Structure 1
């Protein structure tokens, strides 16, 4: 409807342009304003006065009678409620009419009245609303046969007052009381609305060809539409009343609602379903009803779609309409094209109005007017027959009868799902709550879904306070994941590893805070199965083969005091059977071992060797667990596999989230859950969009440039490689931090770092291939096609990778070389007590190479200067080796230290001089002793293990060997005991 109320206009009159007995146009402030003559106002005032008198008469002679009901009549009370509604809306109209009459009385004395001062124009919206509400109440009463009942209840009154009622309706004596009551409550009002429309229509006509109109919209348009609306609602009420009279009581009870109106009936406009059953189709303003024998299908128009594009089969020659609902489809057939067009048009218009939540005004526009309902819409539906969603209520976006978009599914038992849907199934990101056996507790799944099942990365918070973060497949934990319950009072634990069909299977690490132990190894069906390692917080560690959670067969045990047992075990990791026990003092016992059940002690029968010949070799070996029994390819295979699948998919956007974590979408309800799940929200130098990644990678071709890019990528919360790095850090710390800081795991730890670098290099190279546009969606299966000497995992990936693992890895190196570093440090402390001249003499450094041989100073002065100046630049340079993590940078520091020594010697000898090894080694020992680097042995072996293999045998290898020789020399007994 249109709102024709206008801003207040000035009453100042200007030059009169035209004149008429009815109306005129006046130029006011540069615009033409329509005015109403006193004669029109007087005529209008008389009509309002007559209408008010009729309303008063209806109220006193009819409405007051209807408001009196028999207290014992239960059904009558229900109808009385309807009459009360009519009474309230009747008096609302009465008050508006009285207000209109009052303003007309005030305007009556003026010589000319602005049309916008008319009450029906200023209060147009109030009038329209009051009349529509009134007729809604009246038609509700008509459709439910309310007037039939009250006419019978008060029949004696009507008979005795026939003559008095003639003033309301002229044909009172010739019609039934039911028809009389309906006409009393409809005809005067309908007629008065037509009066309003006619009056405003006359006022809105042109006064001349050159006259400007006061509005582009006809003043009478709204009241004309109101008149059409009244006629339409009355027709609908009459049709609906007739329908209720023809249907059975059972069917009427199933379909009846107070405001429901019949729109079309297949008995009037033929249309049938193609099922061949004898049926009847009823179209109401809110539902479509199929009556097929004893079966009745009621379809809400909000969840109904009409498809006219369906082609008839060879057996069908008629026009076909496909009706789609959430759980069923119906094919409707019409013999006549015009019938099919009518049903299709009415269905679409009613669906649109139902979706919008209100009827049109008037109810029907022009026939054929195009205004199709939206294909995608927000709807609610409770499933009745669907096997998966039975009894569940869906609310959210739907398209063609299927959940599609954002929505919520709620089951009666409390289970619910909130998230993305596609073509009727959970697809995308979603949060699912599942009731637990624990009272008022739920399992909460926040995960990616594909075709109705969890697939990809997700987080589950279980009712027992345990939390799983990892991958799912077919609604089960599958692939890499972390399960922990640190809040458990009885048995806090954490499992990091592989899952198969909701069971711990494959390689994994189990931490038990209660037992104070960690298991690293293979699993099957939630049990330890295969090769594994057990570490305890007391320092003991086992390696062996497990079956059904129990250690069986041969293995290795290293106790807290360093004793080593190699042999057979019981299920409880106790010595039992043949074996060899090497004590920490070097004694060995070879024989048979078993436990004494009485004394709980260890009994052994065998040969004891006290020669200690194997002590040195045993200490050198320092058993390294995991070598050979836990291949590097089997560790964390699933982490790389998920990332590999992402690359193989061509890095498509729709697969990125399920393999790499969560990405924030526009749905504000899910943003907090997604942010909590994975992604940080920081500003990054590197984009996380795969298109931007490939574009930028194509610009980095040199070693330093690629290394710099990876450093930024590993720090970017959105970059896929950072998310891969994050998972690797979790797995690495789960294995080697805390209890895992065990010197017997060093070989496994450094081997994993190199494996990480190699795999990331493979992925990086595959992305570069994609970036160049060559061989898209192909990832090298076994490795990179070509690794140059300059550009390889050690030079490109390892430098930015090491900082994330260096703390745990360096701790293992420190523990492994703790004894050697202790001896080395004793030598450093002893050599630190010597002056530089004494130390140079002790190391047999040739005097011609001493930097201070020509300075004439006293002994004290020489001591002070030599102490702070002799090979000082080389010493400072070597001390920087602990400030960097990259093995190549450490080697560069060693090379620079050598250059500083050589530079100092050249300055002293003042000629070209090539330091032979015999002269270099003592000078290097001097520099090392003065640099005072703690745990130098750990540093040297860290470089050896992680240095680029392509530079072995060159100058770096030579200098590292020289540095190791210095380290071993300082460890020697003669230096540590030198006085």
Structure 2
């Protein structure tokens, strides 16, 4: 018991001896006196214990005897000078004896007895504290389920009793080391650890066994609760209630659990769980699951998402088996039922649309594995009106029906059926259109002179118009609304009333207390850092996440750099709420359009949804960084700053005006003249500025690809979703790209001279870099050369498919034009004095396009046109992009080619 005191004394003695022997002797004497007093106190306790057990005789209290149990204090009601005036049973009243005979404080328990029975309360789960009541001397003794009020005759007796009740810690090894850290008699070490079995009368934990931390008689902190039916909860408690993060295991006879990887839980295991039962993991409030949870049922079904009062509510992902077929639902929930926008997938079909009361209700899209594409209005899980696009068996034209449906694939009543590009049937019809069994009645055959198929290859027209929303398209703002609300209300602590009063997230800027939002976010990250085992998850926690940046600084290139820096740091921490939101949006987006969802008719749906995600994410970031441009101006270029860029000389440099993430095209042109492999100076933020050379041409010197304010969001989303997005574009432009590719393969069989002649490229613009060649050999080399003309420009354009960001693709395009100009300047007869015209530029660029051999160039062009805001302002970049489209269209439509 006194080992810790002895160690402390010896340490103090060794230090003191080195300084002064007299001080050491004095210290020895004082400590021996303390030890003597404690030994005498223990001797008194031993004598008192002996006398007490001897006095009991053969009474019922003999059952209290234990070899290690010491009597610290006792009071008998029959004594003449009893210090205890009365003992009152507060709760439960019927549980304790009516009249007491003895009140004893042991070294491990407190006992209250009468002649025939007794009640024992074991430490450490016994608390004693003073109680103020009408200037009378009361002490409140309470346990997890019982409470006593003891009244004393005088204050000294009350103080002695409280001191004795706190002395049990001296005899418990778990608390002996903390005695000196908590010397206050009134506090009595409120936080304790112990095991307790609740009675059947407890309102919440009937006959349960709890082991863990306690605070003032109630489970508080980490603990484990075992139920009589073998259920077990491990996690946090607060004030006697299950509260915080925890895991509840419900046993079952059989379990075949499979785990779905998700961004909602970063530590989700890829292997099946070994526990045979249902496992509920997540946040709890007032004994029920509330907040982010993960549920794994014994039958293999899983749910990951949000709950409210134990019911699925908000955004969630559920995997289950129905009729032997795997089903996955991703979307909104309300009180345990699917509600709002959601995506339901099975092995045979995928539904993207609205739900109500756990049924498909409202506008939606149904894509089947055989390629049938339904879109329309659903009512109680049944398609009632809309459009059906059946894949063409010959690949020429897709059968299109618009009208009433009995169910998916089965048409009825009145409708319009287009069987070819110019043949239309309108009238009464019914049957299974997918299988080809349709009966016509009272129908009219018509000729239509304009194909209305939404499956018309996009690459054949490459129109400048943005894809329009369909008649039955779900508004993009409705999609994944719950995920944004969880982030704003749950992580940023924004009131639901504030969200409801504003038409958009962008309207919240200036209305909210943004300093409070930042304090809440920084505090959340501090709690996460303190609660996460960094060694277990193997990551470095960046201190910048706990600091509040200068979010109210003026808008500038420096401000933009600060935003990008925080964005990258936040996304590098998988526990950051913003990282969870962004990765969650990427997951639900890719899950909507992968596999069965990869349908060419879903092209417009994908574009609108992706643009909406970018816009709403930008609005959310703007709530944190309030001086970013508004969402309707998120394509505003980053303010201009002064960057150092290289000139044509490798040893000199000049200052040029550029944005925070742009590159001077003069530097590109200059670098192309030297042999250095470093082509341009790119800042870490984004590589997007290109300009032409110093010669006068159709491309002026001040050209640049500016970086929009939302570029950091676009870059990340495209990097994570590019495979799905580009697959949709490739499928949409498949026919045109196939025709283009066949002709490119044919043209690439020609030599450079023959190809340049065929494309009618001006002979003054035929450059070739011939090294170490005699003048006599020059004509033969030029005549037999393949892929030698404009070689650097060809290699540059081939990098177009290596970039994800549309702005970066535009930069590659601009750099290609710069290389074409540099090749002419260095190797062609026209030289630096050549003035570029459209008639000269288009054939030369067509040659570079053919030699670059980009197999899906139509998809690349369409993607750039849909997501590059720089094209909306016109200028030279639009001229370059138009030249690229013209080259593609010319190759596709050239009549002289097979």
Q: What TM-score does the superposition give when structure 2 sets the normalisation length?
A: 0.72
In structure 2, do the counterparts of structure 1 residues 241 and 953 end up closer, same or farther at CA, with 3 Å as the change threshold? farther
Structure 1 segment 701-720 matched on structure 2, within 5 A? 701=558, 703=560, 706-707=563-564, 710-711=567-568, 713-720=570-577
What is the CA-CA distance between 1:614 and the residue it aligns to? 3.0
Task: Quote the Cα distance in structure 2 between the aligned partners of 1:741 and 1:523.
Answer: 22
1:798 matched residue in structure 2: 714
1:768 matched residue in structure 2: 625
1:417 matched residue in structure 2: 233
Residue of structure 1 aligned with 2:882, choices 954, 961, 974:
961
Task: Quote the Cα distance in structure 2 between the aligned partners of 1:296 and 1:2.
Answer: 33
Task: Quote the Cα distance in structure 2 between the aligned partners of 1:569 and 1:681.
Answer: 53
Task: Quote the Cα distance in structure 2 between the aligned partners of 1:858 and 1:219.
Answer: 108
In structure 2, do the counterparts of structure 1 residues 708 and 319 end up closer, same or farther at CA, with 3 Å as the change threshold? closer
Task: Quote the Cα distance in structure 1 between the aligned partners of 2:76 and 2:470.
Answer: 80
1:872 aligns with 2:791: yes
Residue of structure 2 aligned with 1:691, choices 538, 542, 546:
546
What is the CA-CA distance between 1:344 and the residue it aligns to? 2.3
Per-residue CA deviations over 1:165-199 (Å, capped at 9, x if unaligned) read xxxxxxxxxxxxxxxxxxxxxxxxxxxxxxxxxxx
Residue of structure 2 aligned with 1:265, choices 52, 55, 75:
75
In structure 2, do the counterparts of structure 1 residues 566 and 705 end up closer, same or farther at CA, with 3 Å as the change threshold? same
Task: Quote the Cα distance in structure 2 between the aligned partners of 1:369 and 1:846.
Answer: 98
1:915 aligns with 2:771: no
With 432-441 and 794-803 compared, the bigger mean Cα shift is at: 432-441
SS of residue in 2 equivalent to 1:414: coil
1:789 matched residue in structure 2: 637
1:508 matched residue in structure 2: 342
What is the CA-CA distance between 1:407 and the residue it aligns to? 0.7
Residue of structure 1 aligned with 2:358, choices 509, 523, 526:
526
Per-residue CA deviations over 1:913-942 (Å, capped at 9, x if unaligned) read 332222222222222122221111100111
What is the CA-CA distance between 1:724 and the residue it aligns to? 2.2
In structure 2, do the counterparts of structure 1 residues 970 and 523 end up closer, same or farther at CA, with 3 Å as the change threshold? same
In structure 2, do the counterparts of structure 1 residues 797 and 526 end up closer, same or farther at CA, with 3 Å as the change threshold? same
Task: Quote the Cα distance in structure 2 between the aligned partners of 1:257 and 1:406.
Answer: 31
1:569 aligns with 2:485: no
In structure 2, do the counterparts of structure 1 residues 886 and 697 end up closer, same or farther at CA, with 3 Å as the change threshold? farther
Task: Quote the Cα distance in structure 1 between the aligned partners of 2:148 and 2:194.
Answer: 20
Check conservation: 2:399, 2:419, Cα contact below 8 A. yes
Structure 2 gaps, min length 5: 7-16, 18-24, 178-182, 256-274, 459-466, 495-515, 639-706
Structure 1 segment 628-643 matched on structure 2, within 5 A? 629-643=473-487
What is the CA-CA distance between 1:837 and the residue it aligns to? 3.1
2:499 matched residue in structure 1: none
2:725 matched residue in structure 1: 809
In structure 2, do the counterparts of structure 1 residues 953 and 631 end up closer, same or farther at CA, with 3 Å as the change threshold? same
1:881 aligns with 2:800: yes
Check conservation: 1:391, 1:411, Cα contact below 8 A. yes
Q: How many pairs align?
A: 730
1:845 aligns with 2:761: yes
Task: Quote the Cα distance in structure 1 between the aligned partners of 2:86 and 2:30.
Answer: 52
2:493 matched residue in structure 1: 648
In structure 2, do the counterparts of structure 1 residues 788 and 666 end up closer, same or farther at CA, with 3 Å as the change threshold? closer
Structure 1 segment 350-389 matched on structure 2, within 5 A? 350=168, 352=169, 356=173, 373-384=188-199, 385-389=201-205
1:237 matched residue in structure 2: 53
Per-residue CA deviations over 1:38-63 (Å, capped at 9, x if unaligned) read xxxxxxxxxxxxxxxxxxxxxxxxxx
Check conservation: 2:457, 2:735, Cα contact below 8 A. no
Task: Quote the Cα distance in structure 1 between the aligned partners of 2:468 and 2:823.
Answer: 43
Task: Quote the Cα distance in structure 2 between the aligned partners of 1:878 and 1:290.
Answer: 91
2:683 matched residue in structure 1: none
Per-residue CA deviations over 1:374-410 (Å, capped at 9, x if unaligned) read 2111022222333222222211110101111111111
1:325 aligns with 2:325: no
1:939 aligns with 2:860: yes
Structure with the bigger RCO (C-alpha within 8 Å, sep 6+) is 2
Q: What TM-score does the superposition give when structure 1 sets the normalisation length?
A: 0.66
With 437-446 and 692-701 compared, the bigger mean Cα shift is at: 692-701
What is the CA-CA distance between 1:473 and the residue it aligns to? 2.0
Check conservation: 2:457, 2:732, Cα contact below 8 A. no
Check conservation: 2:423, 2:447, Cα contact below 8 A. yes
Check conservation: 1:765, 1:784, Cα contact below 8 A. no
Residue of structure 2 aligned with 1:461, choices 281, 289, 296:
296
SS of residue in 1 equivalent to 2:149: strand
SS of residue in 2 equivalent to 1:427: strand
What is the CA-CA distance between 1:726 and the residue it aligns to? 2.1
In structure 2, do the counterparts of structure 1 residues 803 and 816 end up closer, same or farther at CA, with 3 Å as the change threshold? same
What is the CA-CA distance between 1:554 and the residue it aligns to? 3.3
1:493 aligns with 2:327: yes
Per-residue CA deviations over 1:699-754 (Å, capped at 9, x if unaligned) read 98355665466445434434443322221222122101111111111222233332
1:833 matched residue in structure 2: 749
What is the CA-CA distance between 1:821 and the residue it aligns to? 0.8
Per-residue CA deviations over 1:486-529 (Å, capped at 9, x if unaligned) read 7x88121211111212222221111112xx11111112232222
Check conservation: 2:635, 2:710, Cα contact below 8 A. no
With 405-414 and 924-933 compared, the bigger mean Cα shift is at: 924-933
In structure 2, do the counterparts of structure 1 residues 264 and 292 end up closer, same or farther at CA, with 3 Å as the change threshold? closer
2:604 matched residue in structure 1: 747
In structure 2, do the counterparts of structure 1 residues 290 and 583 end up closer, same or farther at CA, with 3 Å as the change threshold? farther
Per-residue CA deviations over 1:580-636 (Å, capped at 9, x if unaligned) read 122256532222211399x99321235565756334766548798866631111111
Residue of structure 2 aligned with 1:400, choices 216, 220, 230:
216
Check conservation: 2:86, 2:152, Cα contact below 8 A. yes
In structure 2, do the counterparts of structure 1 residues 295 and 215 end up closer, same or farther at CA, with 3 Å as the change threshold? closer
SS of residue in 2 equivalent to 1:976: coil
Task: Quote the Cα distance in structure 2 between the aligned partners of 1:655 and 1:967.
Answer: 50
Task: Quote the Cα distance in structure 1 between the aligned partners of 2:521 and 2:245.
Answer: 12
In structure 2, do the counterparts of structure 1 residues 3 and 844 end up closer, same or farther at CA, with 3 Å as the change threshold? closer
In structure 2, do the counterparts of structure 1 residues 975 and 605 end up closer, same or farther at CA, with 3 Å as the change threshold? farther
SS of residue in 1 equivalent to 2:166: helix
Compute the RMSD of aligned alpha carbons: 4.4
Structure 1 segment 109-508 matched on structure 2, within 5 A? 227-241=43-57, 244=60, 263-265=73-75, 267=77, 268-273=82-87, 279-280=99-100, 282-285=103-106, 286-288=108-110, 299-308=121-130, 310-312=131-133, 316-350=134-168, 352=169, 356=173, 373-384=188-199, 385-436=201-252, 441-485=276-320, 490-508=324-342
Residue of structure 2 aligned with 1:581, choices 417, 440, 451:
417
Check conservation: 2:246, 2:283, Cα contact below 8 A. yes
Check conservation: 2:871, 2:878, Cα contact below 8 A. no
Task: Quote the Cα distance in structure 2 between the aligned partners of 1:602 and 1:922.
Answer: 52
Task: Quote the Cα distance in structure 2 between the aligned partners of 1:293 and 1:655.
Answer: 62
1:929 matched residue in structure 2: 850
Task: Quote the Cα distance in structure 2 between the aligned partners of 1:655 and 1:388.
Answer: 34
In structure 2, do the counterparts of structure 1 residues 654 and 853 end up closer, same or farther at CA, with 3 Å as the change threshold? closer
Larger Rg: 1
Check conservation: 2:563, 2:625, Cα contact below 8 A. no
Per-residue CA deviations over 1:830-882 (Å, capped at 9, x if unaligned) read 322333333333333333434479987686433224x3432222222211111
Per-residue CA deviations over 1:399-455 (Å, capped at 9, x if unaligned) read 101111111111101122111122222222211112458689421111022343322
Per-residue CA deviations over 1:321-341 (Å, capped at 9, x if unaligned) read 233332344433334223322
